[in-house]
Amino acid sequence: MTRTLVVVGHGMVGHRLVEVLRERDEFGTWRIVVLGEEPRAAYDRVGLSSYLDGKTAEDLGLTGQDLLDDPVVELRLGAAVTGVDTAARTVALAGGESLSYDALVLATGSKPFVPPVPGRQLPGTFVYRTIEDLDAIREAATEGRQGVVIGGGLLGLEAANALRLLGMRPHVVEMAPRLMPLQVDEGGGAVLRGLVEQLGLTVHTGAATRSVDGEEHVTGVTLADDTVIDTDLVVFSAGVRPRDELAEVAGLARGERGGFLVDEACRTGVAGVWAIGECAAVEGRCYGLVAPGYAMAEGVAEQLLEQGEGTFPGADLSTKLKLLGVDVASFGDAHATTEGALEVVYANNAAGTYAKLVLSDDARVLLGGVLVGDASAYGVLRPLVDRELPAPPEQLLLPAGSGVDSAALPDDAVVCSCNNVSKGQITDAIAEHGLDAVAGVKSCTKAGTSCGSCVPMITTLLGECGVETSQALCEHFTQSRAELFEIVQATGVGSFSELIAKHGTGRGCDLCKPAVASILASLGNGHILEGEQAALQDTNDRFLANLQRNGTYSVVPRVPGGEITPEKLIVLGEVAKEFGLYTKITGGQRIDLFGARVEQLPQVWKKLVEAGFESGHAYGKALRTVKSCVGNDWCRYGVQDSVSMAIRLELRYRGLRSPHKLKSAVSGCARECAEARGKDFGVIATDKGWNLYVGGNGGFTPRHAELLAADLDDEQLVKLIDRFLMFYVRTADRLQRTSAWVESLDGGLEHLKEVLVEDSLGIAEELEAAMQRHVDHYSDEWAGVLADPAKLSRFVSFVNAPDAPDPTIRFIEERGQIRPGPVSLPMPVPASQTQEVH
């Protein structure tokens, strides 16, 4: 006999219950009626932010056609439930209809919590919960303006990232003393704050919101310490509350902090009624993550099908995510609440990484941990929670990633906590079904289908099972960057939309869009702000200048080889003085002009271009500088003219777009004053000519360049650099420095010598010709904007007031120059210490 199950709510957890029931209900025990209050079917709310980064609502959808066509499943959308009669076993809908049920599962989820601050209902205030919320935020966002997110937890930083993707300058206001207080500790919070501030966020911690200001629309936010943030867009993301409104009308008990009170099997106090997901208070506690909700759904399905007791096993509250490009993870007892717990911390302030392991009192068992900046070890560490360590703690915390091979994981270690999938289940599925890709593992086991944090471990397990894993650029392109370069070059594809239509899927993301933009620029497909290309660029490329922490930009003119005339030096000084800019000589022998507002950039460029300057590409993945010493013209030790060679190389390779930034240097003798061996390609003079070194860099992991060829004359040197750079541009992965690229080559430097010096592949002339095409078609990007009114129209702080400066940008004076001041209204400061500059 078929019975009727009514599921109230069609979010991720309600949908999971339906999926599990249909998979396991072999005898057609249940007819299922799903009542969804939203106008759309279940979608991936965990990945909601990707909706503003290229994904469509259809991409996020969870409901396949097979479920929609299922004759025993009836999905009703826009169906709000207003009452439940548990005695008659009926539910009442808003339209007056009444439905009977044999079993009722409440999966009503949660709603955003909006703190009771004055002004919280003004136009211009939003919450961050649904696709419709994001549509409203997108419509209200103004590029270049400040936006305020109230709440610095997981959802708050997601919301801040959404504003950033929309071109706004986000402020995050968090009452706790650190960001993400539930997930990370004090040390991790400090590192996280530093990393997100580098990306343009302004963070206010330990800060309460006094009011949202405005009369007919939001005009600002006032904090408890009298700080005022000028904004017309506020997003509340201060947590959620269970949707338990039906408890009263149904006569169901609530938990102390809300939610339908249920036992360990998710049963309410009324027979035949269950609650699952964020609306369920399991023995009094609500869980705001999808993994516990899925576990509840599976447990209730067991009970409905009489296949087990379906007891909720407890929740793994581990999380791993990438916020604003920053890795954050916590797992197990992250805050060391276990009695006698020990903490082992690895902090690298220079690299911006923080890692902590929480161990048992005998330092043998892993209890939990926190990772910020580099979460590559998470895939191995999380399954080891409550197990004896297979290696010393210091090995587990190696900054480059986990010091333990995944082979050390036992088969019963849970790899995917969202769906409770173990290592053994994954490896068994790979072997039994001949799986050869992550997508196959996802389909077969459900691992990796929710938050996605276990996908790197799935990839590793595929490799350990003998499967060669994909080198796909991202989920939208199955090809690697190098393969896409060859496709664009061979087919003449001239736009991202054409490339993804012919060779990819979906609408692209923040991985593939800039990578393809770089490929198109490398192949000379017009100005980077021309037409569709403008939308593909990263923030800096979008405005041809470097965004700074206070929302202003820095301008770096090219100074080839570091050589500059007195007249040009005077021009730089005059421009800095006219526009009130901060000036600093960089490590690459250039002068950086800081503090230009976005609407000032064209005015600054115009004066510089008229004086003979051009863009130094400090904002782009391109050649930055070719540094030089003074060479044999002035130095008594110099053996070659390093200045002339540096100028020649910089002018030849200026504007060359590449997978990552490029730096170079030329030293006039072996004393190496230009530090050429710390560069992507470096040249050192000898008595017989030049030695060419490649694959070096500074940064987080400094690496000395290696000798590619020795005693080259001028023409041999230029040809070999042509080949090296074009081979790198064609074959490197996205954001791969030359150092990592050389190391990744099969055969490393020796292989590079065979290809570039010995021409083992017969492509030397082709590489040289490609570089010559770049040289022949080079044009200055700044000048290109100045000559095009359409491009110039982008450079405004406010679309509706193009000549108006951003009033929130403020400076104070220090050492005779400006530096960023507080963005909000400043507290009084003694005039003897600082002087405010308006």
The mean-pLDDT minimum among 11-25, 551-565, 813-827 falls in 813-827
* pLDDT given for residue 700 in this prediction: 55
Q: Are residues 630 and 651 in the same domain?
A: yes
Place of tokens 């004086």: 611
pLDDT tens string 548-566: 877 788 999 999 999 999 9
Place of tokens 């950033």: 164
Residue 629 assigned ligand-binding role: yes
Determine, yes or no, domain membership for 68. yes
The mean-pLDDT minimum among 105-109, 151-155, 432-436, 701-705 falls in 701-705
Residue 341, both tokens: 């717990």
Count of CB atoms situated within 10 Å of the CB of 64: 11
Residues 178, 710: Cα–Cα separation, whole Å: 54
Do the beta carbons of residue 191 and residue 352 sit within 8 Å? yes
Q: Are residues 400 and 410 in the same domain?
A: no
In this prediction, residue 26 has a pLDDT band, given cuts at 50, 70 and 90, of confident
Count of CB atoms situated within 10 Å of the CB of 532: 13
Q: In angstroms, how far is the first alpha carbon of the chain from the final one?
A: 79
pLDDT tens string 579-629: 999 999 988 889 999 999 889 999 999 999 999 999 999 999 999 999 999
Q: Are residues 249 and 142 in the same domain?
A: no
- Which residue from 141, 145, 58, 165 is spatially nearest to 513, judged by alpha carbons? 165
Place of tokens 């957890």: 13
Q: What are phi and psi of 205, to 5 degrees?
A: -105, 160
Residue 465 assigned ligand-binding role: no
Determine, yes or no, domain membership for 586. no
Q: What does 21-60 look like in DSSP terms, one character per residue? A: HHHH-TT--EEEEEEESSSS--B-STTGGGGGGT--HHHH
Residue 780, both tokens: 């200055």
Residues 330, 358: Cα–Cα separation, whole Å: 11
Residue 454 assigned ligand-binding role: no
Residues 469, 483: Cα–Cα separation, whole Å: 16
Count of CB atoms situated within 10 Å of the CB of 350: 7
* pLDDT given for residue 829 in this prediction: 35
Q: Are residues 635 and 748 in the same domain?
A: yes
Domain termination site, one of 238, 256, 277: 238
* pLDDT given for residue 838 in this prediction: 36
* CATH number of the domain bearing residue 146: 3.50.50.60
| Alpha helices in 504-565, H assignment, sequence order | 512-522, 533-536, 539-543
Determine, yes or no, domain membership for 661. yes
* pLDDT given for residue 474 in this prediction: 82
Q: What is the DSSP letter of 363?
A: S
Place of tokens 């890709």: 437
Residues 293, 417: Cα–Cα separation, whole Å: 11
In this prediction, residue 415 has a pLDDT band, given cuts at 50, 70 and 90, of confident
Q: What does 753-806 look like in DSSP terms, one character per residue? A: HHHHTS-TTS-HHHHHHHHHHHHHT---HHHHHHT-HHHHTT--S-TTSTT---
Do the beta carbons of residue 734 and residue 473 sit within 8 Å? yes
Residues 597, 466: Cα–Cα separation, whole Å: 54
Close Cβ partners of 466 (under 8 Å, ≥ 6 residues apart): none
Determine, yes or no, domain membership for 190. yes
Question: Exposed (0-12), middle (13-18) or buried (19+): which is 792, by Cβ within 10 Å?
Answer: middle
Is the predicted pLDDT of residue 544 greater than 80, yes or no?
A: yes
Place of tokens 């997978």: 659
Do the beta carbons of residue 450 and residue 290 sit within 8 Å? yes
Determine, yes or no, domain membership for 416. yes
The mean-pLDDT minimum among 291-300, 302-311, 778-787, 827-836 falls in 827-836
**Cα distances (Å, whole numbers) of residue 399 to 111, 219, 353:** 39, 44, 8
Q: Are residues 298 and 329 in the same domain?
A: no
Higher-confidence residue: 405 or 293?
Answer: 293
Q: Sort residue 448 into left (φ over 0), alpha (ψ -120 to 50) or beta.
A: left
What is the maximum span of the chain, computed from C-alpha positions, in angstroms?
101
Count of CB atoms situated within 10 Å of the CB of 653: 23
* pLDDT given for residue 628 in this prediction: 95
Determine, yes or no, domain membership for 789. no
Residues 318, 451: Cα–Cα separation, whole Å: 11
**Domain count along the chain:** 6
- Which residue from 504, 510, 515, 509 is spatially nearest to 479, judged by alpha carbons? 504
pLDDT tens string 740-776: 899 888 888 999 999 999 999 999 999 999 999 999 9
* pLDDT given for residue 399 in this prediction: 40
* pLDDT given for residue 158 in this prediction: 87
Q: Are residues 662 and 774 in the same domain?
A: yes
Torsion of CA 763, 767, 770, 776, to 10 degrees: -140
Do the beta carbons of residue 821 and residue 810 sit within 8 Å? yes
* pLDDT given for residue 828 in this prediction: 36
The mean-pLDDT minimum among 3-12, 206-215, 815-824 falls in 815-824
**Cα distances (Å, whole numbers) of residue 557 to 140, 153, 551:** 35, 40, 20
Residues 664, 645: Cα–Cα separation, whole Å: 11
Chain-centroid distance of CA 359 in Å reads: 30
Torsion of CA 124, 128, 132, 138, to 10 degrees: 50
Close Cβ partners of 767 (under 8 Å, ≥ 6 residues apart): 722, 723, 726, 727
* pLDDT given for residue 359 in this prediction: 92
Q: Are residues 353 and 440 in the same domain?
A: no
Q: Are residues 293 and 326 in the same domain?
A: no
Percent of the chain whose pLDDT exceeds 70: 93
Higher-confidence residue: 155 or 797?
Answer: 155
Do the beta carbons of residue 295 and residue 277 sit within 8 Å? no
Question: Exposed (0-12), middle (13-18) or buried (19+): which is 210, by Cβ within 10 Å?
Answer: middle
Residues 792, 374: Cα–Cα separation, whole Å: 39
* Span 236-248, average pLDDT: 93
Do the beta carbons of residue 662 and residue 699 sit within 8 Å? no
* Span 653-682, average pLDDT: 94
pLDDT tens string 417-431: 777 788 889 999 998
Residues 350, 740: Cα–Cα separation, whole Å: 19
DSSP 3-state assignment of 301? helix
Close Cβ partners of 359 (under 8 Å, ≥ 6 residues apart): 341, 342, 343, 344, 365, 366, 367, 389, 393
* pLDDT given for residue 270 in this prediction: 95
Q: Are residues 626 and 693 in the same domain?
A: yes
Domain termination site, one of 517, 537, 557: 537
The mean-pLDDT minimum among 317-331, 336-350, 700-714 falls in 317-331
Chain-centroid distance of CA 296 in Å reads: 30
Torsion of CA 228, 229, 234, 235, to 10 degrees: -100
* Span 788-803, average pLDDT: 76
Single-letter code of the amino acid located at 830: P
Q: Are residues 628 and 769 in the same domain?
A: yes
* Span 813-823, average pLDDT: 77
Is the predicted pLDDT of residue 644 greater than 70, yes or no?
A: yes
In this prediction, residue 28 has a pLDDT band, given cuts at 50, 70 and 90, of confident
In this prediction, residue 69 has a pLDDT band, given cuts at 50, 70 and 90, of confident
* Span 485-508, average pLDDT: 89
Domain termination site, one of 187, 222, 238: 238
* pLDDT given for residue 800 in this prediction: 59
C-alpha Rg value of the chain to the nearest Å: 30
* Span 95-111, average pLDDT: 95
Q: What does 227-248 look like in DSSP terms, one character per residue? A: -EEE-S-EEE-S-EEE--THHH
Name 173's bridge partners. Answer: 150, 204
* CATH number of the domain bearing residue 351: 3.30.390.30
- Which residue from 527, 579, 528 is spatially nearest to 553, judged by alpha carbons? 579
Higher-confidence residue: 274 or 414?
Answer: 274
Residues 667, 645: Cα–Cα separation, whole Å: 10
Is the predicted pLDDT of residue 189 greater than 50, yes or no?
A: yes
**Cα distances (Å, whole numbers) of residue 804 to 261, 548, 653, 714, 796:** 55, 20, 37, 51, 8
Do the beta carbons of residue 600 and residue 792 sit within 8 Å? no
Residues 723, 704: Cα–Cα separation, whole Å: 20
* Span 119-142, average pLDDT: 94
- Find the length of the chain: 838
Residues 206, 318: Cα–Cα separation, whole Å: 25
**Cα distances (Å, whole numbers) of residue 529 to 417, 555, 729, 795:** 43, 17, 21, 12
What rounded mean pLDDT belongs to the chain? 87
Determine, yes or no, domain membership for 565. no
* CATH number of the domain bearing residue 675: 3.30.413.10
In this prediction, residue 436 has a pLDDT band, given cuts at 50, 70 and 90, of confident
- Which residue from 242, 246, 220, 241 is spatially nearest to 231, judged by alpha carbons? 220
* pLDDT given for residue 769 in this prediction: 95
Higher-confidence residue: 746 or 806?
Answer: 746
Determine, yes or no, domain membership for 41. yes
* CATH number of the domain bearing residue 439: 1.10.10.1100
pTM of model > 0.75:
no
Q: Which domain holds residue 193?
A: 114-238
* pLDDT given for residue 641 in this prediction: 94
Q: Are residues 77 and 11 in the same domain?
A: yes
* Span 716-721, average pLDDT: 97
Single-letter code of the amino acid located at 576: A
Is the predicted pLDDT of residue 134 greater than 70, yes or no?
A: yes
Residues 371, 390: Cα–Cα separation, whole Å: 19
* Span 121-131, average pLDDT: 94
Q: Are residues 124 and 218 in the same domain?
A: yes
Do the beta carbons of residue 211 and residue 126 sit within 8 Å? no
Q: What is the DSSP letter of 192?
A: H
